[in-house]
Amino acid sequence: MFDPKTLEAFGERLSAAIAASPVRDVEKNARALATSFFSRLDLVTREEFEIQAGVLAATREKLTALEARVAELEKAASSATQV
């Protein structure tokens, strides 16, 4: 079997080699490119979306209640004018 210290040392050397290689630069450039691309889009976070969905649901409930109240008032007003 392998010695755990040997595997750990190998992992450290591999990490150091990757950090010093062009792979790290490519990763940074790809990340910057993706960030730039997504910043141009009109996107919102999931949290912002959930908040707005909650506001919309509350507004719909209030609108439904107000529509029912207006219907009741119109009915009462039309009954009062017919008498």
Q: What is the DSSP letter of 17?
A: H
Q: Same structural domain for residues 63 and 80? A: yes
Q: Residues 37, 39, 41, CA angle at the centre, nearest 5°?
A: 80
How far apart CA 38 and CA 30 sit, in angstroms, is 12
| Domain count along the chain | 2
Placement of tokens 């912002």 in the chain: 48
38 and 67 housed in the same domain: no
CA 25 from centre of chain:
28
Say whether both 34 and 58 belong to one domain: no
Q: Do 20 and 48 have their domain in common?
A: no
- Domain holding 26, by residue range, is 1-42
pTM, full prediction:
0.49
Same domain? For 2 and 36 the reply is yes
- Digits of tens for pLDDT over the chain (83 positions)? 567 777 788 888 878 777 777 777 777 888 888 888 878 888 888 999 999 999 999 999 999 999 999 999 999 999 888 76
Contact criterion met (CB below 8 Å) for 57 and 49: no
Q: What's the confidence (pLDDT) of residue 73? A: 96
Tokens of 38: 């997504």
* Claim to verify: residue 35 and residue 49 sit in the same structural domain: no
pLDDT of residue 9: 83
